[in-house]
Amino acid sequence: MGSPAPGPPALRRSAARPNPYAPPPPGSVRALFPALAEGPEVYLDSASTTQKPRPVIEAVHRYHSSRTANAGRGTYRWATGLTTRIAEVRAHTAEFLGAAHADEIVFASGATAALNAVALSWGLANLADGDEILYNPRDHAANVHPWFHLRDLLARFGRRITLIPYATTALGEADTADILAKTTPHTRLLTASHLHHVYGGLTTLEELRGRLDPGVLVCLDCSQSGGHLPVDVTALGADFAVFAAHKMFGAPGTGILFCRRAIHDRLLPFLPGGNSGVTLTDAGLVPGKMPELLEGGTHNIPGILALGAALEVLESFGLDEIAEHDRVLTRRLIDGLRDAPGLEFLPGPAYAPCATGHGIVSFTLAGISAADLGFVLGEAGFLVRTGLHCAPGADPDPDSVRVSTHLYTTLDEIDRFTDCVTTIAEEVT
């Protein structure tokens, strides 16, 4: 592999934003994640959810144990302080993701809710009979099912849209040539995974720049890339982009929807009710401003505060450093598994002509089902995901084992894992 692979990068302070949290001792990145100290297990399921650092845990605990209040509902200091802090987290999130304006950031209950918000607030308002959406049937169900739900809802009111599937390459990326071939004058939306949750292929759609009609909106599911590598939604040319906070060191129940300001006037309210930015008149509901338009109800306040803490932690490490760490681990994993008898990689970085990788690798092993292999690995202390991984249209993909890493994963853990898989492979083949 050439020069020795580096271990986890040391904590550092961001030059742009001072880190208010005390870093662990040098070389002790894992000390920031309490759950990793509870036992000998090796956690290799970060694509499902990441471990939580102490500042995130403390942010949630602090909200529930000190000056608990509702934001945007009162003029006393507890409430106004939370209102101010949520505004700060929103602005920080916009900066972190490369959004031009804070009002382009919507807080949702998760990436699934964010994608449904796009389907219902934009799709219901803008799609007409005969319009088309390009989607990848191998993507996560959260980026497939909402479009089918939208199609069926519109059909009830006499508007018939068509969902056009496009292919995935052997590298686990969206096939941009197939996308171009299937784009028509009726195409209104292209939706894709930025980093695929099963294959680990990175799709930037760069090959399509200047070749798509400007009227085709782009929606990116960044659930796996957020917190793992630098993401700039403006540079990506996204009109919509969604993120899952719990996959980027944050708490479950919080999602991020980026919605480009230029299309705000095309949106209907999502979850209208309290704090939803609409006005009730004799003529009906009048949409208000963003982001309140898509944020009806009480915010997940501890989740948003935890997101703010998570962003600070991620910046203290550096996204470039995290991405490089995942790349090194991915290559070590692939190299360690490549000679295991009967092992076959799913599409992804194992087939890449260069040493790429983003912390996700999936494979099958002849002679044993993915579920049984996952159980055996779990008994040996290696925690991985098995199955179809929420990919509803993954046929002909079989059930597989998915390994996913993050900053707290070590080279030693990868080596022990590959040794274990190789031993099992030799016994079952």
Six-digit token pair at 89? 């987290």
In whole angstroms, give the CA distance from residue 352 to residue 378.
Answer: 29
Distances (CA, A) of 300 to 194, 278, 297, 348, 416: 26, 20, 9, 35, 39
CA-nearest of 259, 190, 194, 260 to 223 is 194
Are 383 and 41 in contact by the 8 Å Cβ rule? The answer is: yes
**Catalytic one among 219, 222, 259, 390?**
390
In whole angstroms, give the CA distance from residue 215 to residue 334.
Answer: 41
Is 390 one of the annotated active-site residues of the chain?
Answer: yes
Q: Which helix (H) or strand (E) holds 427?
A: helix 411-428
H-only helix segments in 14-143: 54-65, 77-97, 111-117, 124-126
H-only helix segments in 145-221: 145-156, 176-182
In whole angstroms, give the CA distance from residue 287 to residue 422.
Answer: 59
Six-digit token pair at 193? 């995974």
Place of tokens 């494979």: 363
Q: Which residues pair with 387 in a beta bridge?
A: 400
Q: Which residues contact 375 (CB under 8 A, 6 or more apart)?
A: none
Q: What DSSP line would sit under 282-341, residue for residue?
A: TTEEEE--TTGGG--S---HHHHHHHHHHHHHHHHH-HHHHHHHHHHHHHHHHHHHTTST
- Which residues does the annotation mark as catalytic? 390
